[in-house]
Amino acid sequence: MSTALLTDKYELTMLAAALRDGSAHRRCTFEVFARRLPEGRRYGVVAGTGRFLEALADFSFDDAELASVAGFLDRATLDYLAGYRFSGDIDGYPEGELYFPGSPVLSVHGSFAECVVLETLVLSILNHDSAIASAAARMVSAAEGRQLIEMGSRRTHERAATAAARAAWIAGFAGTSNLAAQHDYGVPALGTSAHAFTLLHTTDAGPDERAAFRAQVDALGVDTTLLVDTYDITIGVANAIAVAGPELGAVRIDSGDLGVLVRQVREQLDGLGATGTKIVVSSDLDEFAIAALRAEPVDSYGVGTSLVTGSGAPTAGMVYKLVEVDGLAVQKRSAHKESHGGRKAALRLAKPSGTVVEEVVHPAGRPPQTDSSLTARPLTVDLVRAGVRVGDGADLAAARERVAAGLHSLPWDGLGLSRGEPAIPTRLVTPA
């Protein structure tokens, strides 16, 4: 399926004007960056690079796409689009890398014509996926090593659900409820049953919770997770252990005062001999609720709404700006919407302990001298050369490792959930 119409009209009208006046073939660099982090955030996580590169490969105008834009474009522009294939270069941060204000997350190099039409495709993918991954990383930090399961598919668009599951897995979640994410990206699929299955086992004599549990255990084995809060949690836990025995894998609590209930359920399970049975909690959890439960005997968290909606994952705020034309630096000076001209790359400085202290953005190909007591790690990698995808900057397993390493490298206050400055400063080195 072509991705060419996942764009905004003004990109094609700019293309038409540039083709008409001859400027369409000037060599340009467009840069993706965030001027600032969302309120309360101290770092961001780059995600979606792999999805963008997949979408780029399908960015072409066949007859159906050309017919849909023929009403406002001239013949020269339609002919150009009919033969469009991106043939330029792309470099940027590998997927899973942390980013900060001003980080050159992605740079697109080529003619104005072939670069300008990619703006919306780039931003719609990177802004969505990076926002989800950044929120998910905060939850991973708050969980302090306990398992997190993404289960937000029913709270967002069906395609966004798959992308969100992918981004959450990169950030450190253990898996997802979404089967498309497993099929498309290999994200582990997790899940057992909902309250409907328990309610299904109601007869003229009344609810039969044990029958529901027995059916689930018969089908899935004693290692399954039983949902115990459909009626009365204390009775539900007793029924679960009566049916599955003390080897039951886990119970899930999806309502109520989770802190109080988890303590009661743990005590009850231990009293029944089910000391190895884990406790999974869900119910509109976010990073703050997860942090509040750190002292409780929770083993896993199920997170949905707060991860995939705007309240939990505000936009990454990335923009796509022209920064160089035929080797000349260009930049916006608009108040609060400024950009910095020139093709750029970046490196990150760290102490011998591994703790990062600064990000340095510099002219591409001209890294600055840095303090010899600090380790300088280049961040920018090749992603596309002459239209061909290269490197592993979008490998999911590597991305997942980068997030974990990046979080581990932050100063201790950079992991705070309260409002504060970005975890490290970004320094722009201008050409001499």
Going 141 to 142 to 147 to 151, the CA torsion angle's sign is negative
Mean pLDDT, residues 50-62 taken together: 96
Residue range(s) in the chain whose domain bears CATH number 3.20.140.10:
9-132+317-428
Cα(190)–Cα(187) distance, rounded to whole angstroms?
A: 9
User: Within 10 Å of residue 141's Cβ, how many Cβ atoms?
Assistant: 20
Q: In this model, does residue 39 exceed pLDDT 90?
A: no
Tokens of 96: 């899973």
Tokens of 5: 């119409």
Rg (CA), the chain: 25
Number of residues that make up the chain: 432
Cα(84)–Cα(24) distance, rounded to whole angstroms?
A: 13
Query: Helices 233-244 & 258-271, crossing angle to 10 degrees?
Result: 40
| Overall pTM surpassing 0.85 (yes/no) | yes
User: Within 10 Å of residue 339's Cβ, how many Cβ atoms?
Assistant: 17
End-to-end CA distance of the chain: 47
Residues paired with residue 109 on neighbouring β-strands, in sequence order: 29, 89
Token look-up 């719609």 returns 124
Mean pLDDT, residues 205-218 taken together: 97
Spatial neighbors of 263 by CB under 8 A, at least 6 apart, are 296, 297
Residue range(s) in the chain whose domain bears CATH number 3.20.20.70:
141-309
Cα(242)–Cα(428) distance, rounded to whole angstroms?
A: 64
Mean pLDDT, residues 8-35 taken together: 97
Q: How confident is the model at residue 393 (pLDDT cuts 50, 70, 90)?
A: low
Residue-wise pLDDT for 254-307, tens only, equals 999 999 999 999 999 999 999 999 999 998 899 999 999 999 999 999 999 999
pLDDT confidence of residue 338: 77
Residue-wise pLDDT for 144-202, tens only, equals 999 999 999 999 999 999 999 999 999 999 999 999 999 999 999 999 999 999 999 99
What are the start-end ranges of the E strands in 181-292? 202-203, 206-207, 225-227, 250-253, 278-281
pLDDT confidence of residue 217: 98
CATH number of 9-132+317-428: 3.20.140.10
Residue-wise pLDDT for 301-336, tens only, equals 999 999 998 777 778 999 999 999 999 999 888 777
Q: What is the mean pLDDT of the chain?
A: 95
| Domain formed by 141-309, architecture | Alpha-Beta Barrel (3.20)
Bridging pattern class, strands 388-389 and 44-45: unpaired
Cα(361)–Cα(344) distance, rounded to whole angstroms?
A: 7
DSSP single-letter state for residue 206:
E
Spatial contact of 59 and 72, defined as CB atoms under 8 Å apart: no
